[in-house]
Copies of this chain bind each other. A is one copy, B any other.
Amino acid sequence: MTTKDELDAAVQQAQVAFLAARGAEPDTRAGWLEAIADGLDAAAGELVPLAQAETHLAEGRLQGELKRTTFQLRLFAQEVRRGEILDATIDHADESWGMGPRPDLRRMNVPLGVVGVFGASNFPFAFSVMGGDSASALAGGCAVVHKIHEAHLQLGLRTAEIVVTALAQAGAPAGLFGAVTGRDAGEALVDHPLTTAVGFTGSTRVGRILADRAAARPEPIPFYGELGSINPVVVTSQAWAARRDEILTAYVGSYTLGMGQFCTKPGILFVPQLDEDSTQVLRETVAGTDPSPMLTTGLAEGFLHARSAMAQRGLTEIVPGGQGEAPAPALFATTVDAAVQDPAIVREEMFGPASIVISYRDEAELTRGVELLEGQLTTTVHAEPGEQLDELVDVLAARSGRVIWNSWPTGVTVSYAQQHGGPYPATTAPGTTSVGTAAARRFMRPVSYQGFPESSLPAALREDNPLAISRRVDGEWQLAGGAK
C-alpha cells in the first residue's frame, strides 16, 4: 500500500512532469500515447494471463479489451495531432463589433494539471491503469496519478510499470504517469492540493463519497464519476408481436454477458405482456447460459445481497438464480403498477447477472414507468420499421446519455460521437463523457489570450496556423489546410 508520503511524492513528481511537458508539441505528446499503446500491445502475452488469474474473465474478452485500450490511445494520439481537443477559436479585433470595439481574442483549451484516476474492477484494461480516463487526461496534456483497483492489483502494478517504461523510452518527463495503491492513498489523492480533477468509474456509493470529498476541499475540483446505471430497454407492442423470441433471447445474452458486470447491462426490459410462452423462452435461454465466477468474492456477495433485497420487494422470480462466487443468472418479473408503488424496483442496481422484465398495459402506462427512471448511461428501444416514437425517445433522451435503437446497450465503441455519461446517478458530471474522443475535454479548460503579439501566442492560435488545425475564426470555421 502506498503511504501518505509516497502519495505526496507521486503527486509532486507528477506536477513537475506536467510543467516540464507543458511545452511539448502535439506530435511529441501523440507519440507518447502511441509509445504506451505499443508497449501494452507488446506485453499482451504477459498481461492477459495476469488479468485472467485476477478477474476470472475469459482470454478472448481480455484480448479484445486490451485491443480496445490500445486503439483508444492511438485514436487520442490522432486527435491530439489534429488539434481537435484544443477548440481553437479566434476573434480578430473588430472596431464595428455590435456592442462596441472588440479586442483581438484567441481561445484554446489548456490542461488542468495533475489528474487523479481511479480504476474500475470490471474492466482491468479499458477502465483501469491506462483506460479511458488516463488516456484522455494524458491526451489533454495532464499528468496522471492512478489509484490501482485492488481487484487486479498485480495486473495493475505490472501495467503501470510498462506504461512508465514506455513513457521513459519515448522521452516523456519522469512522473507524467504514476500509480498508487490502497484506500488511504486514494483519499489523499482526492485531497491533495496539486490534484486538479478526478476521474472515477465504480459504484454510486463509493463515487458519491469521493465526489463529496472533492466538493468539500478548500479548493473544490471537478469530479468525473461514472457511477450506476440500470439501462432500461423498451420493447414496443409492434416489435413484441413481430419478433418476441428473438428479442428475449438477445436480452438474456446482453444481461448475462460477462456475468452482468457491465455498467451498461440492461437491468430492465419493458414489454407489453409476459405470458407463459414468453416466460418459458426466457427460462430456457437463461438455463442455457454458463455461469463463471464473478470478478471478486466481494462483488459476488454484493450482487447476492442486492438480488435478495430486490426479491423481497415482491417481484415474481421467473428464474431464481444461483448462489456462491459464480451465481447462475436470475430473472424477475413485475408490472409498471408495482414499480409506481415502489420506485426502488427501477432504481436499485443489481451489479451482476440479474434483470427485471416489467409489463406495461398500454403506452400511457409505459410512459409512467419510464418516467420513474433516474439518470442512465443508456436507454434502448426495440421497434418496427415505420414506428414514430418521438415522445418516447424524448423521455428516454431526457434520462440518459445514449439512446439505442434496435440493439443492446452492452458494447460501447470508442469514437468521435460516443457519449458515455448521463444525469446523476449515472454520472456526477452530465455534460461530459468518459468514452470517446470528447473525454479529453474533461481535463482541460479554456484560456483566452487577448491582444497578444504573434510571437507570444501559443502555436495553435497563431495567425499562420503552424499546426494546420481546424479553427473557428470570427465565427466561421476554417478547416485544416486552409480550406474554408
Contact = CB atoms under 8 A, between A and B. Distances in A.
Interface of A: 22, 64, 67-68, 71-72, 74-75, 89-91, 97-100, 102-103, 105-107, 110, 112-113, 196, 211-212, 215-216, 219-222, 374-375, 385, 388-390, 393-394, 397-398, 400-407, 413-419, 421, 423-425, 428-431, 433, 438, 441-442, 444-453, 455-456, 470, 472, 474-475, 477, 479, 483-484
B419 A447 contact: yes
Contacts of A91: 413, 415-418
A389 B403 CA distance: 49
Given A215-B212, A415-B97, A450-B407, A401 B445 contact: yes
A416 B215 contact: no
Contacts of A404: 450-451
A124 B345 CA distance: 48
Contacts of A447: 397, 400-403, 419
Given A67-B99, A419-B447, A447-B400, A477 B470 contact: yes
B470 A445 contact: no
B446 A438 contact: yes
Given A404-B450, A450-B402, A451-B405, A475 B413 contact: no
Contact of A415 (B71, B102, B211, B445): B102
Contacts of A22: 394
A99 B479 contact: no
A222 B223 CA distance: 11
Contacts of A421: 445-446
A371 to B, nearest CB: 11
A397 B456 CA distance: 12
A275 B106 CA distance: 36
A433 B470 CA distance: 21
Nearest to A79: B475
Nearest to A126: B99
Contact of A456 (B74, B215, B398, B405): B405
Given A222-B430, A404-B450, A419-B446, 14 more contacts: A74-B98, A90-B417, A105-B415, A110-B398, A221-B424, A222-B431, A401-B446, A403-B449, A405-B451, A405-B456, A423-B445, A431-B444, A431-B446, A438-B446
Contact of A418 (B105, B212, B389, B470): B105
A401 B448 contact: yes
B425 A219 contact: yes
A254 to B, nearest CB: 14
A72 B99 contact: yes
A106 B417 contact: yes
Contacts of A479: 477, 479, 484
A427 B110 CA distance: 16
Nearest to A415: B91
Contacts of A446: 401, 419, 421, 431, 433, 438
Nearest to A480: B477
A474 B211 CA distance: 34
Nearest to A396: B447
B71 A98 contact: yes
Contacts of A72: 99
A22 B484 CA distance: 33
A71 B99 contact: yes
Nearest to A69: B99
B416 A89 contact: yes
A89 B417 contact: yes
B431 A442 contact: yes
Given A98-B74, A103-B407, A424 B89 contact: no
A417 B448 contact: yes
Given A72-B99, A407-B103, A211 B222 contact: no
A413 B222 contact: no
Nearest to A93: B413
Given A107-B417, A431-B445, A452 B405 contact: yes
B416 A475 contact: yes
Contacts of A390: 456
A453 B393 CA distance: 12
Contacts of A417: 89-91, 105-107, 448, 472
A472 B215 contact: no
Most buried by B among A67, A374, A445, A449: A445
Nearest to A474: B416
